[in-house]
Amino acid sequence: MTVSTEKQPLNGVDTPTLFATLDAVRGQHDIAKFQFRATNRWVSGTHSRSTIHGFYGAMQEMEHSTPHVFDADHPAVLVGADNGPTPVEYVLHALAACLTAGIANIAAARNIKLTSVESTVEGDIDLLGILGLGEGVRNGFQGIKVSFKLAGDDPQKLRKVVEQSRARSAVYDIVTNGVPVEIAVEAG
């Protein structure tokens, strides 16, 4: 295997551009400072709608090619109108999507071919916490299980790719290690 064949696009990943981006960031660390954003507007009851469009990165204001709009709500069993998934389900989706994007990138960088990546994410939650009925019961998930099923090159290499994706995943880090959150309120 030569260096040039290692850098061909693979798994739908533009590997040459990926390596060029890494080189650019090595030369100018400020390129890597990003701010992502969502705006949310309450609709009614537990139903709200978020828009995701602009972000800051690579030393400039940027936008996704189109604004993305998402509804969240509680299901009827939780006294909502079921106009969308619950907020906690979006967290499970985010975790699966982040680990999967990492798997594709890392496999491409290592010249490992993927044919399929599927996952199921399950989060257990005891709602005694958010309902204020359980002393010592936390509000959030008590645990999350991600089950991956991958096909492609050598299974042992695929397992190592998943492990490296876990070690470099933004959402895995957020969800397992926590992030400081500041809340500002303007009321009137």
> Interface residues for a second copy in 22-41 (CB under 8 A)?
22, 25-26, 29, 32-41
Contacts of 6 (CB under 8 A, 6+ apart): 15, 111
Number of residues engaging a second copy in binding (CB under 8 A): 130
**Residue numbers 109-128 binding a second copy by CB under 8 A:** 114, 116-128
Binding of a second copy by 183 (CB under 8 A): yes
Closest CA to 84 of 35, 48, 44: 48
Min separation Cβ 71 and a second copy, Å: 9
CA 184 to chain centre: 25
In the bound state with a second copy, the residue whose beta carbon lies nearer, of 111 and 166, is 166
- When binding is defined by CB under 8 A, the residue of 6, 7, 18, 110 that contacts a second copy is 18
Shortest spacing between CB 60 and a second copy, in angstroms:
9
Among residues 1, 4, 42, 135, which is the contact residue for a second copy, using CB under 8 A? 42
By C-beta, is 5 or 115 nearer to a second copy? 115
For a second copy, the closer CB: 2 or 186: 186
Q: Are 96 and 127 in contact (CB under 8 A)?
A: no
Beta-carbon contacts of 105 under 8 Å, excluding residues fewer than 6 positions away, are 13, 18
**Could you tell me the smallest distance in angstroms from the CB atom of residue 167 to a second copy?**
8
Considering only 46, 111, 135, 136, the residue that binds a second copy (CB under 8 A) is: 46
Contact (CB, 8 A) for 155 and 163: no
CA dihedral 127, 133, 136, 141 (to 10 degrees): 10
Quick check: 143 binds a second copy (CB under 8 A)? Answer: yes
Nearest residue to 32 (alpha-carbon basis) of 24, 40, 41: 24
